[in-house]
Amino acid sequence: MTFRITSGAAATKLNKHWQFCVGSGHAALAMRTDYLRQLKFVHDELGIERVRFHGIFNDDMKTLSSLSNVLDMIPGLERVRERTFHRCGLAYDNVLAAGMKPFVELGFMPELIARAPRQWHFDGFSNMNPPADFNEWATHVSEFIKYLIHRYGKEEVESWNFEVWNEPDLKMVFWIGTRAEYFKLYEVTAKAAKAVDEKIKIGGPATSASKWVKGFVRFCEDRKLPLDFVSTHQYSGDPLGGVEGSKSFEDEDDGFDLEEMAAKFGGESPLANLQSTATPLEAIRTLMGDESETKDLLTNVFRNNADIVRDQAKDYPLYYTEWNFSAVFSAYSNDTRKAAAYILKTALDIEKSIDGSSIWCFSDIFEEMHQFTEEFHGGFGLLTINGIPKPSFHAMKMLSQLGEERLDLGDGATDGEIGIAAFKSEGETQILLFRQSMKQLDLPKIAANVTLETDKKPSRATAQRIDEDHCNPLKCWERDGKPADLNQSEVERYISESAMAEEKIEFQCADSEVSFSVSLGVNDMALVRLIF
DSSP three-state, residue 179: helix
Amino acid symbol at 124? G
Pick from 157, 173, 161: nearest CA to 108: 173
The four Cα atoms 445, 441, 298, 408 give a dihedral, to 10 degrees, of: -10
The full 3-state SS of 444-480, as one line of letters, equals CCEEEEEEEECCCCCCEEEEEEEECCECCHHHHHHHC
The contacts of residue 372 (CB under 8 Å, 6+ apart) are: 280, 281, 330, 364, 379, 385
**Residue 459: φ, ψ to 5°:** -80, -30
Which one of the listed residues 322, 351, 374, 375 is annotated catalytic? 322
The alpha helices in 71-212, defined as continuous H runs, are 86-97, 134-152, 154-157, 179-196
Angle between helices 179-196 and 134-152 (to 10 degrees): 40
Contacts of 261 (CB under 8 A, 6+ apart): none
Annotation marks residue 322 as catalytic: yes
C-beta of residue 26 within 8 angstroms of C-beta of residue 351:
no
Buried b (16+ CB within 10 A) or exposed e, 305-320: bbbbbbebbeebbbbb
User: Is the preceding omega at residue 108 within 30 degrees of 0, hence cis?
Assistant: yes
Catalytic residue among 105, 167, 244, 351: 167
CA distance 74 to 109: 25
Cβ atoms of residues 352 and 3 within 8 Å: no
Sheet holding 525-531, edge to edge: 11-13, 405-407, 419-425, 428-434, 525-531, 460-466, 503-504
**Taking the mean position of all CA atoms in its chain, how far away is CA 160?**
18
Contact 429, 409 (CB under 8 A): no
Catalytic site positions: 167, 322
